[in-house]
Structure 1
């Protein structure tokens, strides 16, 4: 399953820009990969891991703006269509080969 995070954060003041940078830094440290500028995705193994990841998002959310999370299955994620651009030009890790379940 994938968690997809969509966000639209204000960046009019220095504090808002700092909050934006800190939130993006949190996402990358927590294992999310950038799909687009304000769209990140993370691979999780089950509903429990997804719930824990959403709880961490809530804990680290910025004070202003909109943050949304969408849970999609791997088969749904695999049906994503690229309308413009090509998939090969991006350094995206899109495989479950290295997923280790303990």
Structure 2
């Protein structure tokens, strides 16, 4: 595989985790906080309050992180996991009120080998 194929915007993936978790009891709140902390430990960053994203170099790498998220799912609530290509992620339009905001530039992935 040549360098152009390795960094192709259709090969690079973004994993999105969307969730709606209960926070009515202390136990619910703890599960919510633990879930968010686990996402952050695995390299996810907050996109919106209940949407976290992670840049992955390939579909195979994305599957590793999806499997990891599934391993720490909370007992209650709704969680969705979605993969999109870097090209699709780059086409997102972000608005603050009616004013369009430039999307943050994509993360650079450093590979040592």
- Give the TM-score normalised by the residue count of structure 2: 0.79
- Give the TM-score normalised by the residue count of structure 1: 0.87
* 1:96 maps to 2:96: no
Unaligned runs of 5+ in 1: none
* Structure whose CA Rg is larger: 2
* Residue in structure 2 matched with residue 78 of structure 1 by the alignment: 90
- Secondary structure of 1:35's aligned partner: strand
- Secondary structure of 1:19's aligned partner: helix
* Residue in structure 2 matched with residue 3 of structure 1 by the alignment: 15
2: CA distance, partners of 1:39 / 1:87: 18
2: CA distance, partners of 1:38 / 1:15: 18
User: Among 48, 64, 75, which residue is 1:63 paired with?
Assistant: 75
Q: Deviations over 1:47-75 (max 9, x none)?
A: 11111111101101111101101101111
User: Among 42, 46, 50, which residue is 1:34 paired with?
Assistant: 46
Higher relative contact order (CA 8 A, sep 6+): 1
2: CA distance, partners of 1:17 / 1:56: 21
1: CA distance, partners of 2:104 / 2:35: 21
How far does residue 94 in structure 1 lie from its aligned partner after superposition? 4.0
